[in-house]
A and B are shown apart, each in its own frame.
Chain A
Amino acid sequence: MDHLKGRDSNSRLQRSINKYGISNFEFVIYYWHTDPYVNLTDIETVVIKSFPFENLYNFKKEANSSLGYKHTVDAIHKMKLRFKNKSNHPMFGKTHTSFAVSKISKPGNLNPMFGKTHSINTKLKMSLAKSKISIGLYDLNNNLIGTYINQVELSNYLNLNKSTIGRYLKSGKILLNKYIIKEIL
């Protein structure tokens, strides 16, 4: 309720108050919190959802969640900068207690992936997202034969174990008497 004082408030609302003046605003009560067993946040969400979201200054469609909120490019940049130094992360050097872990854990059918499997396309997308460096397969004359998104893809192509590829990539030795494996930066 500090909106009228202009502190700890919603920036869209404050800009609108500054532009139109407080005399153009009305204060309405939608719900009196008379029942202590009722979750006030849930009621707020119900009220928010009863109005078209484009007519609200609220950033979020749910009172206690970030659903519907899109961070600005500036905000994303600030967050990235902040966490470049890992010690800035609130969980840096800490571990969750077993109680916290039990609260976070979603075993069995509580897990959203329970009983489901990822499609081949999804697996490929995840693999691409995780692969930081591509692998190049060269012949003994240093001609590029092919590029692969990661060691697993190359191991499948050559029908070898992925750790064999990793070993030869690290050592730079000749593989199968005809190949050299290198990272492609």
Chain B
Amino acid sequence: MIAGILPLKIYKNLSSPENFRSELHRVGGVYGLINTNKNINQYIGRQPLAGE
């Protein structure tokens, strides 16, 4: 794993993103999209609560 904050939850299969998408939309939070292939680069993003 890369240095930094440890993730609370990891989703390895992104071919069916409905699960984590609905979960994240319901609560909101800060997520990372990690490229495990290329030097473990990642994108950090946030999902606010609906209406926030």
Residue A114, interface by CB 8 Å: no
**Known interface pairs A26-B34, A27-B11, A28-B11; A51-B44 also in contact (CB < 8 Å):** yes
**Known interface pairs A3-B45, A4-B14; A27-B2 also in contact (CB < 8 Å):** no
Residue A33, interface by CB 8 Å: yes
Residue A144, interface by CB 8 Å: no
Contact across chains for A32 and B27 when beta carbons are under 8 A apart? yes
Chain A residues lying within 8 Å of B2, measured Cβ to Cβ, are 51, 55
Residue A175, interface by CB 8 Å: no
- CB-defined interface of B14-48 with A at 8 Å, one 1/0 digit per residue? 11010011001101111111111111111111111
- In-complex Cβ contact of A24 among B25, B35, B52 (8 A): B35
**CB within 8 Å of A: which residues of B?**
2-5, 7-12, 14-15, 17, 20-21, 24-25, 27-49, 52
**CB within 8 Å of B: which residues of A?**
1, 3-4, 10, 12-13, 16, 20, 22-34, 36, 40-41, 43-44, 46-48, 50-52, 55-58, 63
